[in-house]
Structure 1
Amino acid sequence: MTNLPDLSALPPPEVVEEISYEDILAELAVDIKARFAAAGIDWDVDQLETDAAVIVAQAAAYRETVLRSRINYVAQQGFLYFAEKDNLEQLSAWLEVFRMEGESDDRLKERFRLATIGRSAGGPAERYRSVVLGADIDVRDVAIWREGRDPTVNIAVLSQSGNGEPTQALLDVVETALTQPDIQVVSDTFNVVSAIRKTVDVTLSVRLDPTAADSVADQVATTVQSEWQKQDLLGLDLTRAFLIQAAGIAGVTNVEVTAPAVDTVALENEAIAINSVTVTVSGRGR
């Protein structure tokens, strides 16, 4: 993923001060007592909860608490970090960034931010990244770089499908999007390739708990593949420590990695795919 600023680290906007229910109720009690006193009515704020004025004050305090929260929620929908669903689509439409079919809020937010940063016709990397992510919903991630002073812009594409390796059809769609006259800078040429450069076969030996079902071994293979696909794969090393952790599901008491023999290192612009996971059971024990 691109190194965009972390919006979650910023304090949330507050349009109206959010005061606790208890503080609002206490302020109302003081106000009611003052109004009763002005009317010649002696009223004790510490009297029974069944007092009509107390019940009305509680209802008013609750409604004000909810109203303050609602006002802030609605106002926050105008800020990118907090916007979601239809509100997010309205916000991103200002830069002609529209939700693709099946696109998550997080992916749409990233494209909106990239469109904001890279508003020029071509150039910076954020602009090209925005174009690539907008080319097809099957683009999961992309790395963009140049080598030395070569004008070639290298585009490494990671797919949402399978092990992350894009089809040639997807690479063609990306290249077509980049070479549109209003996108491509005259001096730039594109080298669109798969981000998957290394494919690894994994072999694990596991010890099962005496009470574990035999099917746990099959679950280990599925879980390892699934957990790896959840990661931000670009530039991520496939470590033996990760494999041990991912394979340590319920019913497994020990994991040994037979292959790969050492950690598999990824460059910043490449991703590693796990081709197969073979699991053997070394025995049972705690």
Structure 2
Amino acid sequence: MSAIDLKSLPAPAIIEELDYAAIAATYKAKFVSLWEGVRAANPGLNLPPYDVEMLETDLAVIATETEGFREVVLRGRINDAIKANLLAFARKSDLDHLAAFYDVVRLAGEDDDRLCSRVVLAIQGRSTGGTAPRYKSVAMSADINVEDAIVYTIGRSPVIHVAVFSTAPDGAASPALLAAVDTALQAEDVRMVNDTIVVASAVRRVVDVAANVWLLPDADNATLTRAEATLRSAWAAAQSLGRDFVQAWWVSKLMIEGVHKVEPIAPLDLSIPADEAVSIGAISLTLRGRDF
């Protein structure tokens, strides 16, 4: 069962895109309509046609703009209320209440993104065939120091393996952390009767990156430094257990503004086992010249 990326969902149609100018213009048009109606109904008053754009200091202009601003604030508050009920947007205490509906409670020190991920896992784990998400949800809930976990089997073996990736710099899970996860998974109300669960630490594989780079003529000398930082940042966001390290992917991240061409040297495409996670080690970018 694949994970749901809430951030990739399209914007909900129920959330309105606010446009103050359009709202204020509606109020101004309504005022002009009412003014003209009064003029038509009372010709004896000799009221002149009213240009609502005449003066910014005109009381009618001030009133309509004030109403427009109030309307934007009100609609914005309605948008916020809607977002508080959507898992993709709810944050802080709003997210806590949504999570509680699924019997998920925020761990001490847990940020919103991690809690949101656990809520998704809890929902998936309750569905038919949701054993893997269920076990991952339990592992992630066992301790805040579990950065990631993957549930998998090997071949036709019925043994269920749970690889734990910790928040430690090297990703290795300590014996105490593994014990906490194992205890949570072996609980009678968690483990299915016929399941044998083996908990172990995931492995961090350090990979060095090397490439030749050509810059555009007007690119500054710090371009290579920025390219390296961009690659590291992108991988930090994408890194997960079992994620392959594909050459085309990391080359694309080096193609920032100012870079003309990247010639990859190493590594080639790396197929990563389920219980391993790639960490980028040294990045060697050799400037080979400038070109269009």
Q: TM-score, normalised by structure 2?
A: 0.73
Letter in 1 for 2:199: V
Residue from 44, 51, 57 that aligns with 2:49: 44
CA contact (8 A) 2:170 2:204 kept: no
CA contact (8 A) 2:171 2:204 kept: no
Q: Structure 1 219/34 Cα, relative in aligned 2: closer, same or farther at 3 Å?
A: closer
Query: Is 1:3 equivalent to 2:3 in the alignment?
Result: yes
| Other-structure match for 2:105 | 98
Q: Structure 1 219/3 Cα, relative in aligned 2: closer, same or farther at 3 Å?
A: closer
Query: Is 1:61 equivalent to 2:62 in the alignment?
Result: no
Q: Structure 1 76/216 Cα, relative in aligned 2: closer, same or farther at 3 Å?
A: closer
Q: Structure 1 136/28 Cα, relative in aligned 2: closer, same or farther at 3 Å?
A: farther
CA contact (8 A) 1:237 1:264 kept: yes
Residue 132 of structure 1 and its aligned partner are, at CA, apart by: 1.4
Deviation string 1:99-133 (CA, Å, 9 cap, x unpaired) is 2344332221121232234348x962222221112
Identity of aligned residues (%): 34
User: Unaligned 5+ residue runs, structure 2?
Assistant: none
Equivalent pairs, count:
282
SS of equivalent to 1:144: strand
CA distance in 1, matches of 2:151, 2:225: 37
| Other-structure match for 2:243 | 236
Query: Is 1:180 equivalent to 2:187 in the alignment?
Result: yes
Deviation string 1:113-166 (CA, Å, 9 cap, x unpaired) is 32234348x962222221112122232332223456644222223334435443
Q: Structure 1 174/58 Cα, relative in aligned 2: closer, same or farther at 3 Å?
A: same
Letter in 1 for 2:12: P
Which has the larger displacement, 192-201 or 249-258? 249-258
Q: TM-score, normalised by structure 1?
A: 0.75
Residue 178 of structure 1 and its aligned partner are, at CA, apart by: 1.0
CA contact (8 A) 1:88 1:105 kept: yes
User: Unaligned 5+ residue runs, structure 1?
Assistant: none
CA distance in 2, matches of 1:127, 1:24: 53
Residue 63 of structure 1 and its aligned partner are, at CA, apart by: 1.0
CA contact (8 A) 1:205 1:280 kept: yes
SS of equivalent to 1:228: helix
Residue 196 of structure 1 and its aligned partner are, at CA, apart by: 3.2
Residue 252 of structure 1 and its aligned partner are, at CA, apart by: 6.8
CA distance in 2, matches of 1:133, 1:107: 9
CA distance in 2, matches of 1:138, 1:68: 40
CA contact (8 A) 1:238 1:272 kept: no
Q: Structure 1 54/217 Cα, relative in aligned 2: closer, same or farther at 3 Å?
A: closer
CA contact (8 A) 1:171 1:192 kept: yes
Query: Is 1:140 equivalent to 2:147 in the alignment?
Result: yes
What pairs with 1:181-196 in structure 2 (closer than 5 Å)?
181-196=188-203
Q: Structure 1 244/123 Cα, relative in aligned 2: closer, same or farther at 3 Å?
A: closer
